[in-house]
């Protein structure tokens, strides 16, 4: 059975690149009838952040990238589910030490007692000579007695992988093809740190083997380390999984997407009112392309279409305009009830409506939602967009708009609008539409000369959402007041 995993570190909010990695693992597992596992890699205790695990699981649950096994959130509690646990690396230290002992016994690893200061000095000397910085092997040949004496003296130490000289390590990457590297170009990687925690390189190999992972799908930043992982599989006599290294997500300047360029976490986008399904759809197409030109996908359609062989080698630019377009598409297609539910928290936060008013103003909110549906790309834009539509103290400065108001037909339009609106009992969308049709027939004013001046009188703008919906939301008195406020401009 196909088994893959997402194995992040709990170091803060979930980066969109991490969500894409999780998504590709999820899509592949589901496409192949396999299992998707979530494991927590917390061996670097200095980088842990409070609340990071909750943020991680919430991001996965909200976007529908839900693990079959490993860390799961059930009823607001974090649990470990599956037969291959524990799924938190800091709870697996005894397992790693067992395999470290195996490598030491086989002569494929060694104790290193070099201090940080010495290692830094060696690196600096190598850099000065134009050499690639790497460990110089000082502790590779220590005798058993020297090792025992150092340990007895309480000297801090690590355990390093003992790479053979001039040994070619080869593996196939399903995206990048055959890759070879000579051990002479590699470093004797630390496997066990002085604090007793394994490094990523040791833990990832042991965990992936013991958890029966068949495919490792991860970011391309791990590609240079993969030969060391492949060699560790050789040392243990294990079959290595298949590797897939994903292209980086890039900024507009084609550098790796970073916080310096703005929002990069899943939480940032969801908090601004991007829909989870739109974010997933967008990220799926950053580095992978379907066989056809389809751009809008449900999760089920993504699973059906996903194919590892169609993952790109080159980096994909995070095009925010494309994300905005895609999110706007989902907003336009959303049922009105759902749209109201998504909009309301943003309107409450902006003080447009209070929590206490929500239930009584559902009809008003539905009208607002219809007005905003085609005008926003994400929900955080709603309060400002609504303010632009509903503000009564607008100033008409556009010269084309002013010219339209000074047309002779606009003066007749003004009189007809005020007369008919004053005479109507309730001004809703249906009555507003009927009034405009009556004026068209009676005054012989139509098209642009009917709708644009009417909109300018009521909103101050030449273009915008359905005018009759705006009339409905504003109501009779407010519409009349706005129309009459432009009388002086029209010299009436």
Question: What six digits make up the tokens of 462?
Answer: 């030449």
Side-by-side strand order, sheet with 177-182: 77-81, 69-74, 35-38, 3-6, 215-219, 242-246, 168-173, 177-182
What is the maximum span of the chain, computed from C-alpha positions, in angstroms?
109
Burial of 387: CB neighbours in 10 Å, binned 0-12, 13-18, 19+: exposed
- Element at 215 (helix H, strand E): strand 215-219
The DSSP symbol for 199 reads: P
The DSSP symbol for 132 reads: P
Within 27-68, strands assigned E span: 35-38
Residues forming a β-bridge with 171: 179
Catalytic residue among 127, 259, 391, 437: 259
Q: CA-to-CA distance for 68 and 227, rounded, in angstroms?
A: 29
Look up tokens 């002569």; give the residue: 107
Strands 158-161 vs 190-192: parallel, antiparallel or unpaired: antiparallel
Q: Which residues contact 397 (CB under 8 A, 6 or more apart)?
A: none
Q: How many CB atoms lie under 10 A from the CB of residue 221? A: 12
Active site residue 81: no
Active site residues: 259
């Amino acid at each position: 059975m196909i088994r893959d995993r997402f194995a992040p570190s709990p170091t803060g909010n979930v980066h969109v690149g991490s969500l894409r990695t999780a998504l590709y693992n999820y899509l592949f597992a589901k496409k192949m009838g396999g299992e998707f596992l979530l494991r927590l890699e917390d061996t670097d205790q200095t980088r842990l952040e409070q609340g990071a695990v909750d943020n991680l699981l919430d991001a996965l649950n909200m976007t529908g990238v839900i693990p079959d096994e490993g860390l799961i959130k059930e009823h607001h509690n974090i649990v470990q589910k599956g037969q291959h646990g524990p799924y938190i690396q800091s709870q697996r230290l005894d397992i790693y030490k067992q395999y470290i002992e195996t490598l030491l016994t086989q002569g494929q690893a060694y104790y290193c007692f070099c201090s940080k200061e010495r290692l830094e000095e060696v690196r600096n000397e190598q850099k000065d000579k134009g050499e690639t910085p790497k460990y110089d092997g000082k502790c590779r040949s220590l005798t058993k007695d020297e090792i025992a004496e150092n340990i007895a003296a309480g000297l801090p130490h690590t355990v390093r992988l003992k790479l053979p000289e001039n040994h070619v390590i080869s593996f196939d990457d399903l995206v990048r093809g055959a890759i070879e590297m000579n051990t002479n170009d590699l470093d004797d990687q630390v496997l066990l740190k002085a604090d007793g925690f394994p490094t990523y390189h040791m833990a990832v190999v042991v965990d992936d083997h013991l958890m029966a992972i068949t495919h490792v799908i991860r970011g391309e930043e791990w590609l240079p380390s993969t030969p060391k992982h492949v060699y560790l599989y050789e040392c243990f006599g294990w079959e290595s999984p298949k590797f897939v290294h994903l292209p980086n997500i890039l900024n507009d300047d084609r550098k790796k997407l970073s916080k310096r360029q703005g929002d990069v976490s899943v939480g940032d986008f969801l908090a601004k009112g991007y829909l989870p399904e739109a974010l997933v759809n967008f990220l799926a197409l950053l580095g992978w392309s379907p066989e056809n030109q389809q751009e809008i996908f449900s999760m089920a359609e993504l699973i059906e279409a996903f194919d590892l062989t169609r993952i790109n080698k080159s980096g994909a630019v995070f095009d925010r305009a494309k994300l905005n377009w895609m999110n706007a598409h989902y907003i336009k297609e959303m049922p009105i009830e759902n749209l109201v539910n998504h909009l309301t928290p943003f309107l409450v936060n902006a003080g447009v409506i209070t929590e206490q008013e929500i239930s009584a103003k559902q009809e008003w909110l539905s009208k607002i939602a219809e007005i905003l549906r085609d005008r926003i790309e994400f929900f955080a834009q709603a309060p400002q967009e609504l303010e632009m539509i509903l503000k009564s103290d607008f100033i008409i400065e556009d010269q084309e708009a002013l010219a339209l108001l000074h047309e002779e037909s606009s003066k007749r339009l003004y009189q007809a609008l005020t007369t008919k609106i004053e005479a109507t009992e309730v001004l809703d969308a249906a009555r507003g539409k009927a009034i405009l049709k009556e004026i068209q027939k009676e005054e012989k004013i139509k098209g642009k000369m009917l709708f644009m001046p009417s909109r300018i009188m009521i909103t101050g703008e030449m273009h915008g959402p359905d005018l009759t919906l705006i009339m409905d939301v504003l109501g009779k008195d407010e519409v009349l007041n706005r129309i009459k406020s432009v009388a002086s401009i029209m010299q009436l």
